[in-house]
Structure 1
Amino acid sequence: MRILIAVILMAGLAVSCSNKNENKVIYMVRHAEKDVVPNNNPPLSTDGVIRSVDLTSWFKDIEIDTIFSTDFLRTRETVKPVAEAKGLELSVYKAKDFEGFAENLKEMKADTILIVGHSNTILEQIEAFGLERPQEEIKENEYDKIFEIRVDAKKVITHTYGTKFKE
């Protein structure tokens, strides 16, 4: 009987470990348009505030478990409306710890994670997951992309958002 119980427990553990990332989805977004002053840690511009509201609309039907932002005003302001709408607190991460952050995210129990970063960190973070960049670079004036990382499928899907900005 003990052997049977041990076998069942080991099988359950193996299944839970192998399915750890089965449904994990990570959304990565660059902060919205920033103001020009102060130049070291500017807030969002008016267009950026509008885009942050559009981001909230884009995620309205998507359940999010955890939200991460770098510790810059523009990233926190970009995701604040989403966090408030979902009733979630923001967690701060170090943008340049690509490998460490990727490992932490893979180990998290959260299935759906939203991360707000920067033009010079998002693509590098995607690579830290062992995935190819969905584009060569994020241009300085490019704020409309949402990168959806399907961890189990090892793929990145690119979406755009921002209703005010579509022509």
Structure 2
Amino acid sequence: MKKWIPFLTIVIFLAACTSKVSTVFVVRHAEKDLVYKGDDHFRPLSASGYQRAGKLAKRLANEKITKIYATEYLRVQQTGDSLRINNQIDTTIYSARNAHFLDKVEPRKNILIIGHSNTVPEIVRLLGANFDLKIIPESEYDNLYVVKIKDKKLVEFKAEKY
């Protein structure tokens, strides 16, 4: 029987590696600068937004995130910048008009997706969660949606504040 222990350990390890649960963190961008008068694509974060982005980076610092997905809007990218810089994570830009970029997301990885009040609910639903909200209220910037997936199937969904 002792001869089988190393073999069984390897088999269990390989099975765990191939069926790993990935965690997708989905957030709306932090508070935007309401004074800015230029093109909305280039609207930056406000001072409060930068503080919130720092809180997000602290909350996710130990989550082993390997990739950040952000839309082409500056405030969305700035929301993930602290985490990106501190943890040396690549950011991929996706179109705010197309949530179907999820088809290209690497399985078995922990990722952060940053979107908008009207795109985050759709992204959460596309990940398999039962999520009735159509749009995030304009005053809410502190919602963090945690979606756990295994083999492209929902394992767990929870909403929290950060």
Give the TM-score category using the shorter length: 0.7 to 0.9
| Number of residue pairs the alignment of both structures matches | 142
Identity in percent? 27
Work out whether residues 66 and 110 of structure 1, in 8 Å CA contact, stay in contact via their aligned partners in 2: no
CA RMSD between the two structures: 2.2
TM-score by length of 2: 0.79
d(CA) in 1 for partners of 2:58 and 2:127?
A: 27
Alpha-carbon shift at residue 109 of structure 1 (Å) = 4.2
Alignment of 1:10-159 (within 5 A): 19=19, 22-36=20-34, 37-38=36-37, 40-41=40-41, 42-98=43-99, 100-105=100-105, 108-133=106-131, 135-152=133-150, 154=154, 155-159=156-160
Residue type of the alignment partner of 1:139: P
d(CA) in 2 for partners of 1:102 and 1:74?
A: 21
d(CA) in 2 for partners of 1:63 and 1:120?
A: 27
SS of aligned partner of 1:35: coil
d(CA) in 2 for partners of 1:94 and 1:136?
A: 19
SS of aligned partner of 1:77: helix
TM-score by length of 1: 0.76
d(CA) in 2 for partners of 1:87 and 1:110?
A: 19
What residue ranges of structure 1 are gaps of 5+ in the alignment? 1-14, 162-167
Which runs of at least 4 in structure 1 moved beyond 3 Å after TM superposition?
Answer: 134-137
Work out whether residues 21 and 108 of structure 2, in 8 Å CA contact, stay in contact via their aligned partners in 1: no
SS of aligned partner of 1:82: helix
Residue by residue, what CA displacement relative to the aligned partner does 1:97-154 show, whole Å, maximum 9, x if unpaired?
Answer: 22x322222xx14510001110000101112223211645310110001101111361
Work out whether residues 65 and 112 of structure 1, in 8 Å CA contact, stay in contact via their aligned partners in 2: yes
SS of aligned partner of 2:65: coil
SS of aligned partner of 1:116: strand
d(CA) in 2 for partners of 1:54 and 1:136?
A: 25
Higher strand fraction: Structure 1 or Structure 2?
Answer: 2
What residue ranges of structure 2 are gaps of 5+ in the alignment? 1-14
